[in-house]
Amino acid sequence: QVQLEQSGAAVRRPGASVKISCKTSGYSFATYHVNWVRQATGQRPEWMGWVNPDGDGTAYAQTFRGRVTMTSNISISTAYMELTGLTPDDTGLYFCARGLSLGWFDPWGQGTLVTVSS
């Protein structure tokens, strides 16, 4: 079955960066985009952007543009999301999810908790 497995929780100081991996299996990696969605505790999910493994095209939400970089390694069916210039407001759960350039998200990775604290 289709699975997305994310890297583990991370704790960072303000100003640092974090890079999360999302290893996929069970489908043709190049056929779908990998989207990234952030969810602060008790808040609605917030779309961050996507990477298209077929050519490495990307699209980022305006909120994160300039601080986020999404990449992929097609040889190991893995996508990455790096966020720089972290502040405490970046604390939350970060999910990868399979999707298209615009559509629904299915399935989702288990989530990676990022905590930003001094």
Which residues here bind another protein, judged by CB under 8 A? 43-47, 59, 61-62, 95, 97, 102-111
- Least distance from another protein to the Cβ atom of residue 12, Å: 22
The angle formed by the CA atoms of residues 68, 82 and 60, to the nearest 5 degrees, is 30
Would you say 16 or 61 has its CB closer to another protein?
61
CA nearest 117: which of 9, 18, 13?
13
Would you say 23 or 111 has its CB closer to another protein?
111
96 exposed, middle or buried (CB, 10 Å; 0-12, 13-18, 19+)? buried
CA nearest 37: which of 60, 71, 7?
60
Would you say 10 or 16 has its CB closer to another protein?
10
- Least distance from another protein to the Cβ atom of residue 40, Å: 12
How far apart, in whole angstroms, are the C-alpha atoms of residue 6 and residue 109?
Answer: 6
117 exposed, middle or buried (CB, 10 Å; 0-12, 13-18, 19+)? exposed
Would you say 14 or 66 has its CB closer to another protein?
66
